Amino acid sequence: MTHWPSIVVATPAHSGVGALLSYRSESALAPGTLVRVPLGAREVLGIVWADETAPPEGLAPEQARDVAAVLDGLAPLNGRWRQLVQFAARYYQRSLGEVALAALPPTLRDLDNTQLARRLKRQAKAAAIGAAPASAADTAPPPSDEQAAALAALAGADRPALLFGATGSGKTEVYLRATERALAADPAAQVLVMVPEINLTPQLEARFRARFEPRHGEGVVVAMHSGMTPPQRLAAWLAAHSGSARIVLGTRLAVFASLPGLRLIVVDEEHDPSYKSQDGARYSARDLAVYRAKLESEALAAAGPDAETSPASAPAGAAGCQVVLGSATPSLESWHAAEQGRYLRLAMPARIGGGALPRLRLVDMNHQPKGATLAPPLLAAMQERIARGEQCLVLLNRRGYAPVLACDACAWKSQCPHCSAFRVFHKLDRTLRCHHCGFTSRVPRACPDCGNLDIAPIGRGTEQIEEQLAGLLVDARRPDGGPARVARMDADTTRLKGSLEAQLAALHSGEVDVLVGTQMIAKGHDFRRITLVASLNADAALFASDYRAPERLFALLMQAGGRAGRDARHSGVSEMWVQTWHPEHPLFAALKTHDYPAFAAEQLAEREMAGMPPHGYQALLRADARTQAAAQAFLNGAAQQAAGLPHRDDVTLYPAVPLTIQRVANVERAQLLVEAASRAALQRFLSAWQPVLLACRTLPEARGLVRFAVDVDPLAI
């Protein structure tokens, strides 16, 4: 009998074409089956979404094309996975085809069944060989009382858990033990552990491997992040999909991994903005993780203990698949959910070993020598640390040597010709580089406008601080009499493969006394000999127009401070120095007492008054165009034509405005804010609005529109 499966293929987000296309097949194809189908002149990867025994209305049987190949060596993607991508596509206003196909490794398309069978066999064999009986000694330390209590509460949790644990309280150990428990409960169980950034994966991966490989074999942990090569991504995906990998450790894209045995999801540093994708489907991997756990749990409950899983997989009290969100400074969304009882809060306020959190030292820059980049008392404190053989971290959120180069004699500045931004001066290779579009040129010998030879850097970046510190600390001596060693770590020094690991290793082994870097050094790393952390330019965030800036600054400073005094032997002396022109700012009062709950309460009260998230819901309509007028015309046109739409009265549409950096790579950018009192109302309106947006692309005054996108639950407005 002829079948007419509808198949999902990759379609651009706003093509207006449904992602589901009908094909012809001589055999029945189960939903979730991967296939190759002709599309125009190409052959593309597709996913069977539904099987039909009659051709769809309007499709003449002779026009239908045949499914070209079926990847039947692979189990179909299960119903929960399909529900997840379907939900993500709908919620984030993208096409199903875009979301579903982006979630698969692209090289899957090039595999035939023979290759596939060979690969899967090899992976299964590797897993079997590796699975030696527990040979290595288990290195797990006995859990602290707080860890034990958190794990006990988690075992019975019927809701998402928010692990609110101070930096160094041993959250990772809780993840490891929860993982161990999930794996032990069911031989097919799988665990997904997410971290915000690639540079945090090596250390965590090492800890998970050390813990689980001795007992479960070499293939038990796989990584998934955007830094992997296509063959590596394919191998990891297949290992997860086939179940040979039991633990997947990855960045936000891992939330879409096919994990048929998923029983636990961990989202570490859940407040981190990196979990929100900034292009394509602008999904929040944290929010999807919570949704995914719910889907998995519902499916397990519906299936009952007999179907698909063994009874052992349903531990008493705990429903199916758990999700743990961990942070020392949770997002206000998650904190609010815990306050309301929607999430279960597990608190671990104490550091392992009883160490104290670093003492906050505010440096009032109003009382420092004019033009000083580093206040003298801070320098003195650093010298003391160096003399004792301890390490310092210096944080500055700006890489390069100086953010602007300017002429003394005329108005010339290192403006990027393609963006409304300055090109950054990089001294090492004497270039001017635009951090927005990448445009790079040699530093001119003289002013391009007036020929003046005096062109000078304005402001400071990490490269300059590194240089200055080397000079300022020239007299500092280590306990062995050697000079202080200053190093820098940022996106520029870690570009080459392996360089990040090498730099971290140098710091761990004590080859560096002072490390200068961007926020990359503030996150997650378990450094042992750091007793002083300094933040040089926190002020910008205090008065930023973005209402989330204080939340982000508080998290960054807590997290950076968390790098200090992790070894209890040093903890009594560890300090967090913050240079500021506004020491009286209330944020610092909460920071001084490490009082996140107080800070969160104050911020949530402000948000409630203003109807801001989590007390209100937002979406942005963004437009890129050749001219700012065209971008705004599209947005304002879309707003006007929303009149009369169903649910229009449930939302507020604000006038279009240019983005802070309004032009990037010769494209003008603008956005329009949509607000609603409830998530459901916002969703209903956005769905109704979608056809209007498509129609407005052809408005005469929007000529020159390049693209538009909807950002649901945006992080920066």
CB of 499 to Zn ion, least distance (A): 25
C-beta of residue 523 within 8 angstroms of C-beta of residue 196: yes
CB of 571 to ligand ADP, least distance (A): 12
CB of 524 to ligand ADP, least distance (A): 7
- Strands 20-22 and 6-9, how do they pair? antiparallel
Backbone angles phi and psi of 123, in degrees to 5: -65, -40
Among ligand ADP, Zn ion, none, partner that 407 touches (CB below 5 to 8 angstroms by kind): Zn ion
Q: Which of 61, 79, 141, 572 binds ligand ADP (CB under 6 A)?
A: 141
CB of 416 to Zn ion, least distance (A): 3
Q: Which of 87, 439, 547, 654 binds Zn ion (CB under 5 A)?
A: 439
| Enclosing H/E stretch for 685 | helix 679-696
CB of 170 to ligand ADP, least distance (A): 3
Structure tokens that stand for 375 in this block: 């206040």
Q: What is d(CA 713, CA 717) in angstroms, rounded to the nearest whole number? A: 10
C-beta of residue 272 within 8 angstroms of C-beta of residue 198: no
Q: What is d(CA 350, CA 20) in angstroms, rounded to the nearest whole number? A: 53
HSE of 239 in the Cβ direction (CA atoms, 13 Å)?
Answer: 27
Q: What is d(CA 13, CA 620) in angstroms, rounded to the nearest whole number? A: 16
- Per CB under 5 A, does 434 bind Zn ion? yes
Q: Which of 172, 244, 251, 518 binds ligand ADP (CB under 6 A)?
A: 172
- Per CB under 6 A, does 171 bind ligand ADP? yes
C-beta of residue 284 within 8 angstroms of C-beta of residue 276: yes
Q: Which of 31, 38, 143, 616 binds ligand ADP (CB under 6 A)?
A: 143
* Residue 696 marked as a ligand binder: no
Q: Which of 352, 410, 549, 589 binds Zn ion (CB under 5 A)?
A: 410
Binding-site string for ligand ADP from residue 219 to residue 258, where x marks contact by CB under 6 A and - marks none:
----------------------------------------
- Per CB under 6 A, does 147 bind ligand ADP? yes
CB of 536 to Zn ion, least distance (A): 25
Stretch that binds ligand ADP, among 6-14, 121-129, 167-175, 245-253 (CB under 6 A): 167-175
Among ligand ADP, Zn ion, none, partner that 439 touches (CB below 5 to 8 angstroms by kind): Zn ion
- Per CB under 6 A, does 144 bind ligand ADP? yes
| Enclosing H/E stretch for 682 | helix 679-696
Q: What is d(CA 634, CA 638) in angstroms, rounded to the nearest whole number? A: 6
Binding-site string for ligand ADP from residue 500 to residue 539, where x marks contact by CB under 6 A and - marks none:
--------------------------x-------------
* Residue 447 marked as a ligand binder: yes
Biggest alpha carbon–alpha carbon distance for the chain: 86
Among ligand ADP, Zn ion, none, partner that 386 touches (CB below 5 to 8 angstroms by kind): none
Among ligand ADP, Zn ion, none, partner that 436 touches (CB below 5 to 8 angstroms by kind): Zn ion
- Per CB under 6 A, does 165 bind ligand ADP? yes
Q: Which residue has the tokens 């120095």?
A: 577
Q: Between helices 628-640 and 679-696, what is the axis angle to 10°?
A: 120
- Per CB under 6 A, does 309 bind ligand ADP? no
Q: What is d(CA 163, CA 346) in angstroms, rounded to the nearest whole number? A: 5
CB of 275 to ligand ADP, least distance (A): 17
- Angle at Cα 613 formed by Cα 556 and Cα 167, nearest 5°? 25
Among Zn ion, ligand ADP, none, partner that 17 touches (CB below 5 to 8 angstroms by kind): none
Q: Where in 450-509 is the site for Zn ion (CB under 5 A)?
A: 450, 452
> Could you tell me which residues come within 8 angstroms of residue 411 by beta carbon, excluding any fewer than 6 positions away?
449
Cβ of 191: how many Cβ atoms within 10 Å?
A: 28
* Residue 410 marked as a ligand binder: yes
Q: Which of 616, 707, 612 is nearest to 669 (CA)?
A: 707
Among ligand ADP, Zn ion, none, partner that 168 touches (CB below 5 to 8 angstroms by kind): ligand ADP
CB of 544 to ligand ADP, least distance (A): 27
Q: What is d(CA 148, CA 699) in angstroms, rounded to the nearest whole number? A: 62
Neighbour-count burial for 400-426, b at 16+ CB within 10 Å, e otherwise: bbbbbbbbeeeebebbbebbbbbbbbb
- The separation between the first and the last C-alpha atoms of the chain, rounded to the nearest angstrom, is 54
Stretch that binds Zn ion, among 72-80, 157-165, 406-414, 642-650 (CB under 5 A): 406-414
Nearest CB to ligand ADP, comparing residues 276 and 523: 523
Query: By three-state DSSP, how is residue 387 classified?
Result: helix
Among ligand ADP, Zn ion, none, partner that 416 touches (CB below 5 to 8 angstroms by kind): Zn ion
Q: What is d(CA 683, CA 690) in angstroms, rounded to the nearest whole number? A: 11
> Could you tell me which residues come within 8 angstroms of residue 103 by beta carbon, excluding any fewer than 6 positions away?
85, 253, 256, 257
C-beta of residue 494 within 8 angstroms of C-beta of residue 519: no
Q: Where in 462-501 is the site for ligand ADP (CB under 6 A)?
A: none
Backbone angles phi and psi of 240, in degrees to 5: -70, -45
* Residue 419 marked as a ligand binder: yes
Total residues at interface with ligand ADP (CB under 6 A): 14
Neighbour-count burial for 310-330, b at 16+ CB within 10 Å, e otherwise: eeebbbeebbbbbbbbbbbbb
CB of 411 to Zn ion, least distance (A): 7
Classify residue 248 by burial, with Cβ atoms within 10 Å: 0-12, 13-18, 19+.
buried
Backbone angles phi and psi of 482, in degrees to 5: -75, 160
- Per CB under 5 A, does 437 bind Zn ion? yes
Q: Where in 313-352 is the site for ligand ADP (CB under 6 A)?
A: 352
Among Zn ion, ligand ADP, none, partner that 169 touches (CB below 5 to 8 angstroms by kind): ligand ADP
- Per CB under 6 A, does 169 bind ligand ADP? yes
Among ligand ADP, Zn ion, none, partner that 352 touches (CB below 5 to 8 angstroms by kind): ligand ADP
Backbone angles phi and psi of 657, in degrees to 5: -135, 155
Helix, strand, coil percent content, the chain, rounded in steps of 5: 35, 20, 40
Binding-site string for ligand ADP from residue 419 to residue 458, where x marks contact by CB under 6 A and - marks none:
----------------------------------------
* Residue 392 marked as a ligand binder: no
- Per CB under 6 A, does 170 bind ligand ADP? yes
CB of 452 to Zn ion, least distance (A): 4
Nearest CB to ligand ADP, comparing residues 167 and 636: 167
CB of 478 to ligand ADP, least distance (A): 24
Whether the upstream peptide bond of residue 614 has omega within 30° of 0, thus cis, is yes
Among Zn ion, ligand ADP, none, partner that 529 touches (CB below 5 to 8 angstroms by kind): none
Backbone angles phi and psi of 620, in degrees to 5: -115, 140
- Per CB under 6 A, does 173 bind ligand ADP? yes
Q: Which residues are annotated as a binding site for Zn(2+)?
A: 407, 410, 416, 419, 434, 437, 447, 450
Binding site for Zn ion (CB under 5 A): 407, 409-410, 412, 416, 418-419, 434, 436-437, 439, 447, 449-450, 452
Binding site for ligand ADP (CB under 6 A): 141, 143-144, 147, 165, 167-173, 352, 526
